[in-house]
Protein backbone atom coordinates (compact mmCIF):
# COMPACT_ATOMS: atom_id res chain seq x y z
CA UNK A 1 0.00 0.00 0.00
CA UNK A 2 1.42 3.37 -1.00
CA UNK A 3 2.13 5.90 1.71
CA UNK A 4 0.04 9.06 1.50
CA UNK A 5 1.98 12.10 0.37
CA UNK A 6 1.66 15.66 1.47
CA UNK A 7 0.03 17.59 -1.33
CA UNK A 8 0.71 21.26 -1.71
CA UNK A 9 0.48 23.75 -4.47
CA UNK A 10 2.73 26.70 -5.10
CA UNK A 11 1.15 30.02 -4.24
CA UNK A 12 -0.24 32.07 -7.11
CA UNK A 13 2.32 34.77 -6.23
CA UNK A 14 5.94 35.02 -5.12
CA UNK A 15 6.87 32.70 -2.27
CA UNK A 16 7.02 34.31 1.19
CA UNK A 17 8.60 33.31 4.46
CA UNK A 18 5.19 32.34 5.88
CA UNK A 19 4.72 29.84 3.02
CA UNK A 20 7.70 27.83 4.27
CA UNK A 21 5.74 26.85 7.38
CA UNK A 22 3.24 24.95 5.22
CA UNK A 23 5.83 22.72 3.52
CA UNK A 24 6.37 19.11 4.63
CA UNK A 25 9.01 18.37 7.25
CA UNK A 26 10.83 15.70 5.28
CA UNK A 27 14.48 16.64 5.77
CA UNK A 28 14.67 18.76 2.63
CA UNK A 29 16.01 22.27 2.96
CA UNK A 30 13.51 24.88 1.76
CA UNK A 31 14.99 28.30 0.98
CA UNK A 32 13.64 31.41 -0.74
CA UNK A 33 15.63 33.42 -3.24
CA UNK A 34 13.96 36.39 -4.94
CA UNK A 35 10.53 34.96 -4.20
CA UNK A 36 11.36 31.54 -5.71
CA UNK A 37 11.42 28.32 -3.73
CA UNK A 38 14.69 26.34 -3.79
CA UNK A 39 14.60 22.79 -2.44
CA UNK A 40 17.73 20.84 -1.56
CA UNK A 41 17.41 17.14 -0.74
CA UNK A 42 18.53 16.00 2.71
CA UNK A 43 22.31 15.84 3.06
CA UNK A 44 24.01 12.54 3.79
CA UNK A 45 25.62 11.37 7.02
CA UNK A 46 29.14 12.37 5.89
CA UNK A 47 27.94 15.94 5.32
CA UNK A 48 26.32 16.11 8.76
CA UNK A 49 29.34 14.58 10.49
CA UNK A 50 31.68 17.17 8.95
CA UNK A 51 29.28 20.02 9.79
CA UNK A 52 29.03 18.75 13.38
CA UNK A 53 32.82 18.66 13.75
CA UNK A 54 33.19 22.20 12.35
CA UNK A 55 30.47 23.42 14.67
CA UNK A 56 32.15 21.77 17.65
CA UNK A 57 35.52 23.33 16.75
CA UNK A 58 33.88 26.76 16.64
CA UNK A 59 31.89 26.20 19.85
CA UNK A 60 34.94 25.09 21.80
CA UNK A 61 36.81 28.25 20.75
CA UNK A 62 33.88 30.66 21.17
CA UNK A 63 34.07 33.42 23.76
CA UNK A 64 31.25 33.63 26.28
CA UNK A 65 27.93 34.69 24.80
CA UNK A 66 28.65 33.69 21.19
CA UNK A 67 26.42 30.94 19.76
CA UNK A 68 27.20 28.45 17.00
CA UNK A 69 24.00 26.98 15.55
CA UNK A 70 23.42 24.29 12.90
CA UNK A 71 20.86 24.88 10.16
CA UNK A 72 19.14 27.95 11.53
CA UNK A 73 17.37 30.25 9.10
CA UNK A 74 18.82 33.62 8.08
CA UNK A 75 16.81 36.38 6.44
CA UNK A 76 18.38 37.88 3.34
CA UNK A 77 17.04 40.62 1.06
CA UNK A 78 13.95 39.13 -0.61
CA UNK A 79 14.51 35.67 0.78
CA UNK A 80 15.53 33.19 3.44
CA UNK A 81 18.55 30.88 3.52
CA UNK A 82 19.61 28.07 5.84
CA UNK A 83 23.40 27.86 6.23
CA UNK A 84 24.92 24.65 7.54
CA UNK A 85 26.42 26.62 10.45
CA UNK A 86 25.65 30.12 11.70
CA UNK A 87 27.69 32.04 14.27
CA UNK A 88 25.48 34.46 16.19
CA UNK A 89 26.80 37.54 17.95
CA UNK A 90 26.44 37.69 21.75
CA UNK A 91 23.51 40.12 21.69
CA UNK A 92 21.50 38.16 19.08
CA UNK A 93 17.96 37.41 20.26
CA UNK A 94 17.17 33.81 21.16
CA UNK A 95 14.32 31.69 19.88
CA UNK A 96 14.09 33.27 16.43
CA UNK A 97 12.95 31.00 13.60
CA UNK A 98 14.64 33.38 11.11
CA UNK A 99 17.69 35.34 12.22
CA UNK A 100 18.34 38.91 11.18
CA UNK A 101 21.66 39.11 9.26
CA UNK A 102 22.82 41.96 11.52
CA UNK A 103 23.03 39.34 14.32
CA UNK A 104 25.26 37.00 12.27
CA UNK A 105 29.08 37.13 12.34
CA UNK A 106 29.83 34.10 10.14
CA UNK A 107 28.00 31.57 7.99
CA UNK A 108 29.54 28.25 6.95
CA UNK A 109 28.39 26.09 4.06
CA UNK A 110 29.63 22.51 3.71
CA UNK A 111 29.61 21.62 0.05
CA UNK A 112 27.83 18.53 -1.16
CA UNK A 113 27.02 17.40 -4.71
CA UNK A 114 23.48 18.80 -4.36
CA UNK A 115 24.60 22.22 -3.12
CA UNK A 116 27.90 22.88 -4.89
CA UNK A 117 26.79 25.67 -7.24
CA UNK A 118 24.63 27.36 -4.62
CA UNK A 119 27.48 27.26 -2.08
CA UNK A 120 30.05 28.60 -4.55
CA UNK A 121 28.06 31.22 -6.44
CA UNK A 122 24.52 31.99 -5.29
CA UNK A 123 24.80 31.95 -1.51
CA UNK A 124 28.00 34.01 -1.13
CA UNK A 125 26.48 36.82 -3.19
CA UNK A 126 23.28 36.76 -1.12
CA UNK A 127 25.09 36.60 2.23
CA UNK A 128 27.28 39.54 1.14
CA UNK A 129 24.21 41.52 0.06
CA UNK A 130 22.74 40.84 3.50
CA UNK A 131 25.90 42.28 5.11
CA UNK A 132 27.16 39.13 6.85
CA UNK A 133 30.83 39.87 7.66
CA UNK A 134 32.35 36.42 7.04
CA UNK A 135 31.63 33.38 4.89
CA UNK A 136 33.36 30.00 4.93
CA UNK A 137 32.85 27.33 2.30
CA UNK A 138 34.12 23.87 3.22
CA UNK A 139 34.69 21.20 0.62
CA UNK A 140 36.17 17.75 0.79
CA UNK A 141 39.58 17.71 -0.86
CA UNK A 142 41.61 14.67 -1.82
CA UNK A 143 43.36 14.68 1.55
CA UNK A 144 40.56 16.02 3.77
CA UNK A 145 38.39 19.09 4.31
CA UNK A 146 39.49 22.45 2.89
CA UNK A 147 38.11 25.72 4.30
CA UNK A 148 37.81 28.67 1.91
CA UNK A 149 37.51 31.85 3.99
CA UNK A 150 35.98 35.13 2.82
CA UNK A 151 35.46 38.58 4.32
CA UNK A 152 32.87 41.16 3.35
CA UNK A 153 34.42 43.97 1.28
CA UNK A 154 32.81 47.34 0.65
CA UNK A 155 29.55 45.85 1.96
CA UNK A 156 28.75 44.26 -1.40
CA UNK A 157 30.95 41.21 -2.05
CA UNK A 158 33.41 38.86 -0.39
CA UNK A 159 37.18 39.00 -0.77
CA UNK A 160 39.14 35.79 -0.14
CA UNK A 161 41.03 35.65 3.15
CA UNK A 162 42.77 32.37 2.51
CA UNK A 163 42.43 28.63 2.42
CA UNK A 164 43.00 26.18 5.25
CA UNK A 165 43.78 22.59 4.38
CA UNK A 166 43.71 19.50 6.57
CA UNK A 167 47.43 19.88 7.39
CA UNK A 168 47.38 23.65 7.86
CA UNK A 169 46.29 24.59 11.39
CA UNK A 170 46.24 28.38 11.57
CA UNK A 171 45.50 31.23 13.91
CA UNK A 172 42.42 33.19 12.77
CA UNK A 173 40.86 36.49 13.74
CA UNK A 174 37.34 35.77 12.51
CA UNK A 175 34.83 35.58 13.97
CA UNK A 176 37.07 35.81 17.08
CA UNK A 177 40.76 35.02 17.65
CA UNK A 178 41.20 31.23 17.59
CA UNK A 179 43.29 28.38 16.26
CA UNK A 180 41.53 26.30 13.60
CA UNK A 181 42.81 22.80 12.87
CA UNK A 182 40.81 20.79 10.31
CA UNK A 183 43.10 17.75 10.59
CA UNK A 184 40.72 16.00 12.99
CA UNK A 185 37.64 16.52 10.86
CA UNK A 186 36.34 13.57 8.81
CA UNK A 187 37.63 13.18 5.27
Q: Where are the domains of the chain?
A: 44-184
User: Nearest Cα to 98, choosing from 16, 13, 11?
Assistant: 16
* 33-88 pLDDT tens trace: 999 999 988 889 999 999 999 999 999 999 999 999 999 999 999 999 999 999 99
At residue 54, φ and ψ (nearest 5 deg) are -65, -45
Contact 27, 42 (CB under 8 A): yes
At residue 88, φ and ψ (nearest 5 deg) are -100, 140
Number of C-beta neighbours around residue 71 at 10 A: 14
Rounded CA-CA distance 102/108 in Å is 16
Question: Helices in the chain by DSSP H: which ranges?
Answer: 17-20, 45-61, 116-117, 123-130
| Assigned fold of 44-184 | tt1808, chain A (3.90.1570)
Contact 146, 170 (CB under 8 A): no
Q: Which helix (H) or strand (E) holds 137?
A: strand 134-141
* 97-154 pLDDT tens trace: 899 999 999 999 999 888 889 999 999 999 999 999 999 999 998 889 999 999 999 9
Strand partners of residue 70: 85
Q: Which residues touch 25 (CB under 8 Å, ≥6 apart)?
A: none
* 171-183 pLDDT tens trace: 999 999 999 999 8
DSSP assignment letter at 118: I
Rounded CA-CA distance 83/119 in Å is 9
Q: Which residues touch 54 (CB under 8 Å, ≥6 apart)?
A: 84, 85, 108, 110, 138, 145, 185
Residue-level pLDDT at 2:
53
Amino acid sequence: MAQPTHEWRPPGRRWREQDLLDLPENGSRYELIDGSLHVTPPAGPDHHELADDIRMSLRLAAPAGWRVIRETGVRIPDGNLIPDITVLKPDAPRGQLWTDPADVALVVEVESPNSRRHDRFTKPALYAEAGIPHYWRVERGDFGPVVYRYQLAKGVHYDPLGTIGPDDPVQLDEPWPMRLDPSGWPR
